[in-house]
Amino acid sequence: MSAVATPVETKPVHRPESRRVNHRRRDQIIKWMFMAPAILYVALFFGYPIVQNFLMSFQSYTAETFFTDEAPFIGFDNYVHAFNNPIFGQAMLNTGLFTAGSIAGQFVIGMAIALFFRRRFPLNGLLRSMLLLPWLIPLIVSSAVWQAMLQQEGGIINQFLGIFSIPAVPWLSSPDVALTAVILVNIWIGIPFNVAILYSGLQGIPDELYEAGELDGATGWRSFRYITWPLLRPVVSVVLLLGVVYTLKLLDVILGLTNGGPANSTQTLSTLSYQVSFVEFDFGQGAAFANILIAISLVFAAIYLYTNRRSAQ
């Protein structure tokens, strides 16, 4: 009954409505075909790992699994073990402090620098691209360099402080200071990202608004408070969300600087997940930690969507 085989016969059968229905269906199919690559891609590279990771957290998935292909389901055992891990509480607290501290520092400094670069001055472009440098260095390299600079004896930072007769700070060797040191390094790493995004956000604010504001007496802080900030809010919320998710899962910087030490004082959920998975080879429990991290990230994503919708209304 194909239209190609008997074109002359079938042609009169087509009534306008049925042709429209046919057309609509064909449009529908074409739409789905266009979406198919994206759907397949997401399903394959995002859906599959997430589902797999979710399932894995309920399995006894260890080194043995690789040899026997057996990963028995063990219910919530992995989560029970994860929560009962002697350093789970500390890792949670560290994750919170690390994320809050890093984001606050990165954002405030990043915003200040972005505002500064809004002014026109010589070498503006060059300096701005120089600022991106920390971002271009592999994290494991920058953490190795920082580790050398933060050495208690002979480290360049303590030598510098010594000029002002400030006693050597045990940056990475004291459990009381190590987390702060790691946060400071991470702030340095995150500034370029914040500057780049915030600066491009600032570019989108039309100059006329400032000129008009100036006529009404809105200069300096007031122009920031009443013009820049409200117009930059969508960008700010994206920067903060990405920053939080990125910082929560950050691993290489901590591994490079302290490997979670001294005495677990810089252990976070992500280092713990790594440790359990790739040092102890208990992938099931590692997956449980990873899922806890994903859940926390989702909370922030939900907050972002909520505030975004509210501001849109």
Partner 1 sequence: MPRNRKVARTLALLAVPVLLGTAGCSTGPLGSDDPNTLRVVDYYNNEPSNTSIQHALDKCANETGVDLVRNTIPGEALVQKVLQMASSDTLPDLLMLDNPDMAQFASIGGLVPLDKFDVDTQGISENVLDAGSYQGEVYGLAPTVNTISLFYNKDILRKQGIEPPDTWAELKRTAKQLTTKDRYGFAFSGAASYEGTWQFLPFMWSNGGDETNIDSKEVTEALQLLTDMVKAGSVSQSVVNWGQGEVIDRFIGQKAAMVVNGPWNLPRLKAEATFDFGVVPIPVPDPGDTSVAPLGGEVWTVPKTENPDKQAMAAEMIECLNTDENQMAMAKDRLTIPSKPDVAAEYAKQSEAAETFVNQVGGARARTAKLGEDWPATAQAIYTAVQTALTGQASPEVALDRAARTIK
Q: Which residues are at the interface with partner 1 (CB under 8 A)?
A: 30, 33-34, 36-37, 40-41, 44, 62-69, 86, 147, 151-154, 170, 172-175, 258-265, 278-281
Angle between helices 283-312 and 48-56 in degrees, nearest 10: 130
Minimum distance from residue 300 beta carbon to partner 1 (Å): 29
Q: Which residues pair with 59 in a beta bridge?
A: 73
Minimum distance from residue 99 beta carbon to partner 1 (Å): 21
Minimum distance from residue 157 beta carbon to partner 1 (Å): 13
Which DSSP state fits 205? S
Minimum distance from residue 277 beta carbon to partner 1 (Å): 10
Nearer to partner 1, 246 or 281 (CB): 281
Nearest to 173 by CA among 252, 258, 87: 258
Minimum distance from residue 286 beta carbon to partner 1 (Å): 12
Nearer to partner 1, 45 or 76 (CB): 45
Helix, strand, or coil (residue 59): strand
* Cβ neighbours for 158, distance < 8 A, ≥ 6 positions apart: 151, 152, 168, 169, 171
Nearer to partner 1, 165 or 313 (CB): 165
Nearer to partner 1, 10 or 259 (CB): 259
Nearer to partner 1, 123 or 279 (CB): 279
Query: Do 98 and 183 form a contact (C-beta atoms < 8 A)?
Result: yes
How many CA atoms, within 13 angstroms, populate the side-chain half-sphere of residue 7?
1
Vertex 197: Cα angle to 192 and 199 (nearest 5)? 90
Distance CA(81)–CA(155), nearest Å, equals 40
Query: Do 218 and 226 form a contact (C-beta atoms < 8 A)?
Result: yes
Minimum distance from residue 307 beta carbon to partner 1 (Å): 36
Residue 77, amino acid: D
Nearer to partner 1, 79 or 274 (CB): 274
